[in-house]
Chains A and B, each alone.
Chain A
Amino acid sequence: MSNLLYEIKNLQIKSTPKSGAIKILNNINFNIKRGEILGLIGESGSGKSMLGCALLEMVPVGCLITKGSIVHHFNSNKIISKIRGVHIAMISQDPMQALNPLQKIKTQFTMILRRRFTSNKKSTKEQLLRWMKKVNLHTIPNILDRYPHQLSGGQMQRVMIAMAMSINPDFIVADEITTGLDAGTKMDILNLLASFQKTEGFSVLLISHDLKCIQKYCHRIAVLQSGEIVRVGSKKGIIQKIKDSYDIVIKKNKPENTEKERNPVLNVKNLYKSYGSGRNSIPALKNITFTLYKGETLGIIGESGSGKTTLVKTILNILKRDSGDLFLNEYSEDKSIMDPNRNIGAVFQDSQGSLNPKMKIFDILSEPLTLLGYKNGQRKKEKILIQLKRVHLDNNMLELYPDALSGGQRQRVSIARALLTNPSIVVLDEPTSALDVKTQGKILNLLLNIQKQEKLSYIFISHDLEAVSKIADSIAVLYKGEIIESGSVKDVLSYPSHNYTKKLIYSNSWISE
């Protein structure tokens, strides 16, 4: 029996659009050994998922294997597509969508077991119960009779792990299985998978963009960049090389603000916001209070579900708050603002549709000027060109549509758009979360430079502790609608007091060897 499960040689996969094929993967050469956890790391768009699909022979429609080969050494003569669900399994990201929301868990689980084993009803039921116990879900009443939406993300992912295990596979592809889960759950899921791997001995291809979780669980690592494997090797060597290359990109720490005077530009006091009314009201924000100082960045750390989207919309006044005050110090008198104010600009995450896909970049950038009342086309163009230069974009981009730009370029456009109203404050909601690490660094650098030049104040909201720590002067931690901890970056990160903050820091940090 060969030591190798998979031998991939010179693999090339191209997509087949009519106007010329794009190489998605090229020159892929590596092996997967029996019983090992191989980590596959790469930025979003590098082709990781495609590689995972290729190993299962499920290359999506519109893509083809154009060169090379994938040879498997499973205990079978059959081709890969026949041994799916028998020797191979896959766990994907977004567990809430992984099963049919209209059917019970047990029905769907049974379908998978039936394909693998031919057994009668009774033994299938026993098997199901056994697996629920193995993934620690047996404490949930009637777990098998439940529907997907009745479980949390973490619980559903355990179900998916149970499913993958239940067919007794030799190989599992785990594609970004912790995306969207909060810090503590991430660790639980990966620990579960790793412990199973130790006892059962199957191989795993652990695909992720999160270097820290790869580091913790994998035996070997492969690095994918723009469709090509640039490094394969043992954990230690790879990790250090990557760390080095990433750290060059961004300045280590933001120099502390040494100025004596700290002028507040924004005072938020006792902000409350709930959705719904009466008995059904769901509180989203509770007693939010903070102060933003001129030329400084307040980093707000919040994961999904913490209320950060509500917070952003409330600060921008596009969502009416229930109570509380927003004092803008641009005005001589302390007036609590209730409507959108041109002194507060916004930059959102790229992947959520920040730019109108049907508008040219020029039109997108004209919009703020039009809204301010500028009518003269020439003056508008001048202002646009100034900002374009500031975000390091070419003039010829004005005639393009958003889909022709890369993620990094689109975010630069978003920043330029925000700057066109000449704000004193910019709210940034996950501005770099959809970008790869290198581009993240460049964008953060750009933001820092602009801040220094214009003395802008930022509110930088993200779940990415690393990014926030690089750009913020002070930090506030948002958890379930409340600020549970705040202070200077150094204080909060070095001496966290709240449990949640501690968990957050732990899951985000490098484990020193």
Chain B
Amino acid sequence: MGLIMLFVTSITFFIVRLLPGDPVFLLVGDHPTEEQIEKAKNDFGLNEPIYKQYMVFLQKTIMLDLGVSLRTKQPVLTELSKRFSATFELVFFSMIIALLFGFPMGLVSALNQNKRLDYFFRGFGYLGLSIPVFWLGMILQIIFFGILYWLPLQGRYSGIVLQDSPIVYNSGFILIDSFFSGEWGSFTDALRHIILPAFAMAFGVLGIVFRTTRSATIDIMSAPFFRTFKFYGIKNSEIIKKSGYKNTLIPVSTVVGLSFGLMLGGTFLVESIFDWPGVGQFSVLSILTRDFPAIVGVTILYSFVYVIINFFIDMLYIIVDPRIRD
């Protein structure tokens, strides 16, 4: 686990230095003098030989000092934690939507194979897998904002609403914070803001969850133990409800974990369109402006999250499948 993180971040460290363009200009502005360039380079240790920079980097990282963003001049750690909660909230919400709809759809589809409902759901699932997420986002904006004016265009919350019902920041997750502090105004406002981007993201994942659930359920229906229960006269839907669903959890949770990773990696598209202040936007801008510390910080964050998710999935496997425990 730790080895993977080390590998990923080290590679990033070196790749980033291959990017064309000199980050120094971020620090000193458009028309720097020789002295200013030299000073900036020294301040940020960019004059040191590369292995020395690497050592310093490793030391600092272990102590959680991720440096300062060359672009925003803020500590990387602060930037990341601020934005991570925004991205995470969005991804989490999307995942819930995807599961809430995708999983039951998959079960129902498998139990009603080749009937009209199955075809309908499958078509829906196909669509979800194929729709480009930014296109969907824009179309949703056109429909729900441009034409219907039901939902806000972008952002995480509206400033005006905030004045009336301020949010007590505890976790950084606006929905949770406002819910538990009883600030209904900001809660509904945040909800209205999160619906479109979450839905845009969820649609794609829904397709994957649906397809995986459906094919896993079909596999289970041809498993020997399924036949046993049928011999005893129990109906398909009951078998799944009381026993078979467990067997779907393993492939589905694998896919959920993978999707989480995929979503985290693809949030920048949605964040750009909906102006969501998350890590996605931050990471892309960092890459485009050669903001080394920020890029590396983002990579560390992403690989860390990925490792944690895999860990949770492995835990889930152990809970669900008793054979692994022995």
Contacts and interface: CB of A to CB of B under 8 A. Distances in A.
B322 interface: yes
Nearest to B246: A102
A111 B323 CA distance: 22
A101 B243 contact: no
Contacts of A85: 231-234
A84 interface: yes
Interface stretch (A89-97, A177-185, A192-200, A487-495): A89-97
B320 to A, nearest CB: 6
B227 interface: yes
B229 A94 contact: no
B322 A147 contact: yes
Contacts of A149: 322-323, 326
A100 interface: yes
A304 interface: no
Contacts of A150: 322, 326
A92 B228 contact: yes
Chain B interface residue bracket vs A = 20 to 34
A108 B243 contact: yes
B7 to A, nearest CB: 27
Contacts of A84: 230-233
Contacts of A92: 224, 227-228, 231
Contacts of A102: 246-247, 320-322
Contacts of A103: 243, 246
Contact of B224 (A81, A94, A112, A167): A94
A58 interface: yes
Contact of B231 (A90, A94, A101): A90
A86 interface: yes
Nearest to A93: B224
Contacts of B243: 100, 103, 107-108, 111
A147 B227 CA distance: 18
Interface in B296-326: 320-323, 326
Contact of B233 (A81, A97, A100, A160): A81
B225 interface: yes
Given A103-B243, A149-B326, A115 B234 contact: yes
Given A102-B321, A103-B246, A89 B326 contact: no
Nearest to A147: B322
A135 interface: no
Interface in B227-249: 227-234, 242-244, 246-247
A89 B322 contact: no
B247 to A, nearest CB: 6
A400 interface: no
B229 A111 contact: yes
A102 B322 CA distance: 6
Given A97-B225, A98-B225, A101-B323, A111 B234 contact: yes
Interface in A113-161: 115, 147, 149-150, 160
A58 B230 contact: yes
A100 B225 contact: yes
A143 to B, nearest CB: 15
Contacts of A100: 225, 243-244, 246-247
A12 to B, nearest CB: 23
B228 A83 contact: no
Nearest to B249: A102
A103 B223 CA distance: 14
Interface in A4-58: 56, 58
A99 interface: yes
Contacts of B246: 100, 102-103
Contacts of A112: 229, 232, 234
Contacts, number: 71
Nearest to B247: A102
A26 B221 CA distance: 29
A107 B242 CA distance: 9
Contacts of B233: 81-86, 115
The B interface is mostly helix, strand or loop, or mixed, namely helix
A296 to B, nearest CB: 42
A99 B228 contact: yes
A97 B224 contact: yes
A160 B232 CA distance: 12
B232 A101 contact: no
Contacts of B231: 56, 58, 84-85, 89-90, 92
B234 A99 contact: no
Interface in B59-105: none
B325 to A, nearest CB: 9
B308 to A, nearest CB: 25
- Of B223, B229, B320, most buried by chain A (CB within 10 Å of CB) is B229
Contacts of A147: 322-323
Contacts of B322: 101-102, 147, 149-150
A455 B144 CA distance: 86
A90 to B, nearest CB: 4
Contacts of B320: 102
Nearest to B224: A97
A84 B228 CA distance: 11
A480 B242 CA distance: 40
Contact of A98 (B224, B244, B323, B326): B224
Contacts of A58: 227, 230-231
Given A101-B323, A102-B322, A103-B246, A89 B232 contact: yes
A147 B246 CA distance: 14
Interface in B201-255: 223-225, 227-234, 242-244, 246-247
Nearest to B239: A111
Contacts of B234: 85, 111-112, 115
B321 A98 contact: no
Interface string B246-282: 1100000000000000000000000000000000000
A83 B234 CA distance: 11
Contacts of B323: 101, 147, 149
Contact of A115 (B225, B227, B232, B321): B232
Contact of A111 (B223, B224, B242, B321): B242
Contacts of B224: 92, 94, 97-98
Nearest to A102: B246
Contacts of B223: 97
A154 B19 CA distance: 65
B90 to A, nearest CB: 33
- Of B223, B232, B243, most buried by chain A (CB within 10 Å of CB) is B232
A319 B91 CA distance: 49
Contacts of B242: 111
Interface string A238-273: 000000000000000000000000000000000000
A389 B234 CA distance: 54
A100 B247 CA distance: 8
A98 B225 CA distance: 4
Chain A to chain B: the 3 pairs with minimum beta-carbon distance, closest first? A85-B233, A85-B232, A84-B233
14 contacts: A89-B232, A92-B228, A94-B224, A98-B224, A100-B244, A101-B321, A103-B243, A103-B246, A107-B243, A112-B234, A147-B322, A149-B326, A150-B322, A160-B228
Given A58-B230, A102-B321, 14 more contacts: A58-B227, A84-B231, A84-B232, A98-B224, A99-B228, A100-B225, A100-B247, A101-B321, A102-B247, A102-B320, A108-B229, A111-B242, A111-B243, A150-B326
